[in-house]
Structure formats: C-alpha cells, structure tokens
Amino acid sequence: MVYMLKDIDTFKNLNKNKLMQILKKEASNIDIMDIMKACIFLSEDAKYVQGNYREEYLKSYNEAFITRLKDLKEDKKEYKDHIDNNDLQKALKVLKEQETQVEAGEGFDPDFFKIYKIMSIYTTFILEESVHPPGTPFPGKFKVKYENGVYLCPVKENQKDNPGAVCGFCIALQDESIV
C-alpha cells in the first residue's frame, strides 16, 4: 500500500525512510504545469516585496521550494533515524489548517502550496534544515543564517504563532542578535 501525507497519523515510530517514500509519492504528483504555476505565483507575490531585495527574495524562495523538489525526487540516501511523531503531527496540523485556507481561496496559490507543504516537511524532518535556507532575506536587510551548526532566523519569534507560516515547526532558532 502506498501512503500519502494525510495517512501519516496512522503510523507509530515513523522513520525517515518511510517518510521519504511518502514525500516522494506526493512529489511524483507534481507536474511541470504545477511548477510553472507555482513560479508564476511567486513572481506575482514578489510584486509586493520591496524592490531592493525582490530578486534575492525570488531566488531564495525558488531555491527553498522549487529547486529542492528535484533534490527530494533524486534523494537516494538511507536515513535510519526515527521521527518525533508528536512534532510531525503538529507540523501536519499547521499545514492542514493552511490547506483549508488555500482551499477557501485565501493565502497561497494551490499549486505552490502542494510544493510548499512537501518541502517544509522534507527540509524539517528529513534534512533537519530550516525551511528557508541561509541567505533568505527578510525586511530590514535581515537574513536566515547558519552558524555553529544552528539555523538562525530573524523573524522566528514574531512569526512562530502565525497560522500562515511554518515557523512554529521550523528548526531554526530566533537570531538573538535581532531584537
């Protein structure tokens, strides 16, 4: 039987390899048209980003979500670790709430959201990286950093309870140099 993300609550002691199979199955349902529509959404969304860092913003979001989709599909590593099922369930709950908004025509574009959902889980639970890669720009010329093995985010504290963000389950910590 092939499971999908919606089936994950049926698992106990889920390991990374099983989650990878599920994510790869989800990713296989994304075609070139979905990717093109997601890219159009990002470009349209970037219109509202300050001009002085719009290009960097687009590059970072394309890297975080679109380019990494290929990385997921080609990932052949054997991951032996188990996943904290409680943390995964919390993440899936956040994404399900966001999906409800998307289905109601609010928030993200549906084609982008399919990719966003998969990549958020992949980077957090498989790669153990921040959802936004180091260098991702935020207003005020702040960026996500990777220092001494820790991902630091300039907006984590301000966004962790935002139902439209994945900050609540992202592994990045608040960058304490930014108050």
Tell me if 168 is assigned to some domain. Answer: no
- Establish if 96 belongs to a structural domain: yes
73 domain residue, yes or no: yes
Distance CA 124, CA 28 (A): 20
Residue 156 belongs to some domain of the structure: no
Phi-psi region of 18 (alpha: psi -120 to 50; beta: other; left: phi over 0): alpha
Does residue 12 belong to any structural domain of this protein?
A: yes
Q: Report the interhelical angle of 54-61 vs 32-46 (nearest 10°).
A: 150
Q: Which of 37, 158, 156 is nearest to 108 (CA)?
A: 37
Q: Examine residue 139 and state whether it is found in any structural domain, yes or no.
A: no
Residue 123 domain boundaries:
5-130
User: How many independent structural domains does the chain possess?
Assistant: 1
Within 13 Å, how many C-alpha atoms sit on residue 94's CB side? 23
Query: Which residues, including other chains, have CB under 8 Å from residue 100's CB and lie 6 or more apart?
Result: none
Instruction: For residue range 30-76, list pLDDT tens digits in order.
Output: 999 999 999 999 899 888 887 778 888 888 888 888 889 999 999 99
Residue 53 in domain: yes
* Residue 163 included in any domain: no
pLDDT tens string 69-80: 999 999 999 988
User: Does residue 6 surpass a pLDDT of 60?
Assistant: yes
